[in-house]
Amino acid sequence: MARFVHLAPAARAARAVRSGLRASPGHHGERGVFCFPVLPSYTLTHQWLRELARWKGSRSLAAVDLLLPDDQPVTVGHYGGPVRHTTAAGAVGIVAALEDPRGWEVFLPRSVTAREVRRVRAVRQGTGWRYRPDAHGRPPCTCFGCRVRGGYGSRRLLERRPGADGPGPPPRVLLERVDRALADDDTAALRAALDGFSVRRRGPLDRLSPLADHPDPGVRSALAWAVSWWTTPGTGALLDRLAADPDPRVREDADDVRESRADR
């Protein structure tokens, strides 16, 4: 059996003993669970902690120790780079042989069962790197892909270093794009317009809620992610409605959004 660790908000990690870990969006739209081999170095084993805490907005993460079959298919690679298909045992060997395994990750393309969860334990919250390995001393990037909305000091950072990609389109422009896409029956353009709402804290819920009945499940999934950060009253009810959608992918996406909101 190959040993791995998965880092998750403490509340979610506690549930893993009873129900395992549910698959979430991962590589190229595939659903699964990210994890990392247990190495002799405590710091390297838990290296992702500070970066995950930054993105998840959680004050406390916990470690979920996993035991996976040696022949379990997984992928392994450096984040943002190409991945290699191998087995769980093979991934442990690949990572352990690296001179610098920082930034590497293993992806299990399925959920983790409760039987595969060995234990849940507390970890030191100051462990690991943020932004990227060796980022200390370098100015942080403030582009949309790197910055975390609502993160500690994010407003002051943007005032000092405005994002290279600038602010997103205002809601009025996005709504015009939604209306145009609906008139043209262009689902790709509709999903792109909805994605523009996903970086906002509030939005026109009354205008977008009817899209929960759109015939394309991809649009309904995009709607769930579009409101993921919203604090607009009624957002929770819309997500509950999407979580009962007849399409399983829409239900999974809505559940992922609800879970991420609960972790904040």
Q: What is the pLDDT of residue 133?
A: 84
Q: What is the pLDDT of residue 206?
A: 95
Q: What is the pLDDT of residue 5?
A: 97
User: Rounded to 5 degrees, what are φ and ψ at 173?
Assistant: -70, -40
**Does residue 162 register a pLDDT over 70?**
no
Mean pLDDT calculated for residue range 98-103: 95
Residues in the chain: 264
Segment 225-255, tens digit of pLDDT: 999 989 999 999 999 999 999 999 899 889 8
**Does residue 209 register a pLDDT over 60?**
yes
Residue 151 near residue 98, CB atoms below 8 Å: no
Q: What is the pLDDT of residue 113?
A: 95
Tokens of 49: 């902690």
pLDDT: is 10 or 215 the higher one?
Answer: 215
- The bridge status of strand 61-68 relative to strand 104-108 is unpaired
* pTM of this structure: 0.69
- The bridge status of strand 31-37 relative to strand 117-122 is unpaired
CA distances from 90 to 31, 78, 250 (A): 21, 15, 34
Segment 114-136, tens digit of pLDDT: 999 999 999 998 888 877 787 66
Q: What percent of the chain stands above pLDDT 90?
A: 61
Which has the closest alpha carbon to 103: 141, 140, 129?
129
Give 53's pLDDT tier (boundaries 50, 70, 90).
confident
Burial of 91 (0-12, 13-18, 19+ CB in 10 A): buried
Average pLDDT of the chain to the nearest whole number: 87
Q: What percent of the chain stands above pLDDT 70?
A: 84
**Does residue 60 register a pLDDT over 90?**
no
Tokens of 120: 């849940």
**Does residue 185 register a pLDDT over 80?**
yes
Q: What is the pLDDT of residue 165?
A: 53
Which has the closest alpha carbon to 123: 5, 37, 234?
5
Q: What is the pLDDT of residue 147?
A: 57
As a whole number of angstroms, the distance between CA 116 and CA 145 comes to 33
**Does residue 138 register a pLDDT over 90?**
no
| AA identity, residue 139 | P
